Amino acid sequence: MRFVEEVVVEEFLPTVRSMLAEELRDRGLTQREVADALGISQSAVSKYAHGDVATNDRVADDRRVRETVERVAAGLASGDVSRVAALVELEVLVRRLEAGDLLADLHETAMPELADAEYDFAVHDPDSRLRDRERARSSLRRGLRTLTAASGFAGLIPNVGSNLAECVPDAADIEDVAAVPGRVFDVKGTATVPGDPEFGVSEHVAGVLLSARAAGVDARAAVNVRYDPDLVAALADAGVDAVEFEPRDGSETRRASNASGERGDAERSKASMRTESERGRAQRDRDSEREAERPVSGASRKQSDPGAGETDADTADDPVRAALAGRDLGDADVVAVYQTGGVGVEPVLYVLGPDAPTVARVVRDALL
């Protein structure tokens, strides 16, 4: 594994320093003056001058790099540009070349897996959805460690299993929600996680999370545990409001194709970021979840303006959203929803919060 910062340090920086050293010497600066201007030792300047430092031809041949080096060198030589100003100029250039440009290409050359990944966005874009997705998965792993390390958590797992889910900031459907494939089960008193978090593998917990977000709850993570009135009371003692909703006997959580008509077929196709085998496994997991527990949520997307464009039928079709709509939850970071069961539906309690580690800590500290 190689970070883009390593590419900057090992390939970009030596090349630019070598170019600057040469430019400054050509402008009449002594070796000591060059060393002072660049903040390096005289022996380092000597190595650059004699070609003893490996450089990258792609960096050296880039027009923007050459122009920046010439401009910075001229300013340093004349005294018009300070070392701080020179640093800022080069930092701006680095950020520019990282954003899907030269440094991003060098990074992908060093890590071919990045170039081969089936993503329609750049890893080096600061607003990249890939970064959001990887951060969500990383957050989930931390939350799962908290839960599985907590003594007694296995006893909170319902018969249908638990799942911990977290979505990206602009989640629109279940493909934007990561969770544990196959769910977390109690195996002989141990909470067992069968695989690494993936996106689109849990329609039920993901649906509850998306429903809550559609109702205006500012949550990005959710976990389901068994329902017990004592657990609801324990959450209340910890300052967590719990809202009851009515389970419904019906079809699977509505997908984005039904609830988010604004997404075209092409964009939905791009949103699917797993191989065919992963798709098959995810579908099997969803099929298993449908058999194990009748879903209770009908939401498939978050609304940035809850209530905008929604109809009574939309809310009525979504019991979680209906229960939360209009509720004054204050500035609570963590909320809970629960249903007490029905025909073919196991009673379940859901804890929702800003991220998976926070939700996991609430479960650990308040319920165990």
Q: What is the pLDDT of residues 172-205, one digit of tens each?
A: 999 999 999 999 999 999 999 999 999 999 889 9
- Both 72 and 219 in one domain: the answer is no
Domain of 143 in residue numbering reads as: 129-367
- Both 273 and 189 in one domain: the answer is yes
- Both 167 and 245 in one domain: the answer is yes
With respect to residue 194, please indicate whether it lies within any of the assigned structural domains: yes
* Dihedral Cα 37, 42, 90, 3, nearest 10 deg: -150
pLDDT band at 367 (very low <50, low <70, confident <90, very high): very high
Q: Which amino acid is at 151?
A: S
**Domain end: 116, 139, 160, which one?**
116
Q: List the Cα angle 133/125/68 in 5-degree steps.
A: 160
Number of domains the chain is built from: 2
Residues 6+ apart with CB under 8 A from 283: none
CATH number of the domain bearing residue 317: 3.40.225.10
Is residue 139 over pLDDT 80? yes
- Both 211 and 314 in one domain: the answer is yes
- Both 194 and 270 in one domain: the answer is yes
Query: With contact defined as beta carbons under 8 Å apart, do 271 and 176 qualify?
Result: yes
Q: Which amino acid is at 159?
A: N
pLDDT tens per residue across span 288-324 = 444 344 444 444 444 444 444 455 555 668 999 999 9
- Both 194 and 71 in one domain: the answer is no
pLDDT of residue 267: 37
**Domain end: 92, 116, 140, which one?**
116
With respect to residue 308, please indicate whether it lies within any of the assigned structural domains: yes
DSSP symbol at 12: I
Distance CA 354, CA 333 (A): 6
- Both 156 and 281 in one domain: the answer is yes
- Percent of the chain exceeding pLDDT 70 equals 76
Q: Which residue has tokens 């009908």?
A: 298
**Domain end: 58, 93, 116, which one?**
116
With respect to residue 329, please indicate whether it lies within any of the assigned structural domains: yes
Query: With contact defined as beta carbons under 8 Å apart, do 302 and 213 qualify?
Result: yes
pLDDT of residue 306: 46
Instruction: Of 107-111, 119-123, 201-205, 218-222, give the lowest mean pLDDT range.
Output: 119-123
Distance CA 352, CA 205 (A): 10
Higher pLDDT, 332 or 214: 214
- Both 91 and 195 in one domain: the answer is no
With respect to residue 327, please indicate whether it lies within any of the assigned structural domains: yes
- Both 97 and 135 in one domain: the answer is no
Distance CA 101, CA 107 (A): 10
CB-facing half-sphere around the CA of 123: CA atoms within 13 A = 19
Higher pLDDT, 263 or 344: 344
Measured from the Cβ of residue 325, the count of other Cβ atoms closer than 10 Å reads 15
Higher pLDDT, 64 or 296: 64
With respect to residue 121, please indicate whether it lies within any of the assigned structural domains: no
Distance CA 283, CA 278 (A): 8
pLDDT band at 61 (very low <50, low <70, confident <90, very high): very high
pLDDT of residue 18: 94
- Both 17 and 155 in one domain: the answer is no
Buried/exposed 101-118: b ≥16 CB within 10 Å, e otherwise: ebbbebbbebbeebeeee
Q: What is the mean pLDDT of residues 11-31?
A: 93
Cα 361 to Cα 27, 148, 343: the distances in Å are 61, 11, 32
Is residue 283 over pLDDT 80? no
- Both 226 and 346 in one domain: the answer is yes
With respect to residue 124, please indicate whether it lies within any of the assigned structural domains: no
Here the tokens at position 238 are 């910890």
Query: With contact defined as beta carbons under 8 Å apart, do 58 and 107 qualify?
Result: no
Q: Which amino acid is at 213?
A: R
pLDDT of residue 33: 94
- Both 36 and 134 in one domain: the answer is no
pLDDT of residue 133: 85
With respect to residue 316, please indicate whether it lies within any of the assigned structural domains: yes
- Percent of the chain exceeding pLDDT 90 equals 54
Q: pTM for this structure? A: 0.60
Burial level of 197, CB count in 10 A (0-12/13-18/19+)? buried
DSSP symbol at 318: -
pLDDT tens per residue across span 213-265 = 999 999 999 999 999 999 999 999 999 999 999 987 543 333 333 333 333 33
Residues 6+ apart with CB under 8 A from 140: 164, 165, 166, 178, 179, 180, 197, 221, 356
With respect to residue 183, please indicate whether it lies within any of the assigned structural domains: yes
Beta bridge partners of 349: 225, 338
Distance CA 81, CA 71 (A): 9
